[in-house]
Amino acid sequence: MKDIEALKELQKIDVEIFKIRTDLEEKPQKIKKIEDDFNALYRSLKELEDVLKKMQLEHKEKELELQSKEDVVKKQKGQLYQVKTNKELYSLQLEINKENADNSLLEDEIIVIMEKVDKFKRLITQEKAKLAQEQVKLNKNKADIEVDIRELSEKLEALNASRKRAVEACIDPQVLQLYERILENKGEIAIVPIDGEICSGCFRSVRPQVVNELRLGKLKTCENCARIIYVENDN
């Protein structure tokens, strides 16, 4: 049966078209995924930079605090020469000692913050280098995917031309219509051979009477999955 041969050819082309379309549909998602990954890296770098800014601010505040406290001590040291009694001298000296000890603790805190700032600056430099590498990778991957899209689109165009020829080879427009309708419903495969008495579309049995009719050259569909069925190597 000539139409069956034409439909088989058409089906072969449609399977390829289906594959390419699926492939093409996935490409924009792939681009989005690599962009999302890059943006996540970028955001974490920005977060590090924010943390650094806060630390630097804290550093500045502590330095100011230390300076004003040191000014107090300086002033008190000046007062040491003006006190009248030993008792006053003793209590002022005690206060100065206490403030010196406090300031020394504050200095230690400042050193810890400065070390943290240095560490963060190094980390940010590393992360920036990493991000620059990722940017190169991102651009390359995107360009590769865009090449793929172009190639696939060209293939699709060629396949559509072949499809047009295969459609023209179908003699009976009703048969073609049937095929198109099944293809639309089933998504990819509209015509399948039977293997013995088993439909290779749904793997259910085909009634012997239907098999006989197929052998007589009739166009039949599977009573279970509704696909067009044919007998392979029929003589």
Binding interface with Zn ion (CB under 5 A): 199, 201-202, 222, 224-225
Decide whether 138 or 199 has the Cβ nearer to Zn ion.
Answer: 199
- Shortest distance (Å) from residue 39 CB to Zn ion: 47
Type of residue numbered 137: K
- Shortest distance (Å) from residue 42 CB to Zn ion: 52
Decide whether 60 or 215 has the Cβ nearer to Zn ion.
Answer: 215
Place of tokens 């058409």: 10
- Shortest distance (Å) from residue 9 CB to Zn ion: 21
In which element (H, E) is residue 198 found? strand 198-199
Helix, strand, coil % (nearest 5) of the chain? 80, 5, 15
Decide whether 142 or 193 has the Cβ nearer to Zn ion.
Answer: 193
Place of tokens 């690599």: 34
CA distance linking residue 150 with residue 17, whole number of Å:
15
- Shortest distance (Å) from residue 196 CB to Zn ion: 13
Decide whether 113 or 182 has the Cβ nearer to Zn ion.
Answer: 182
Type of residue numbered 93: Q
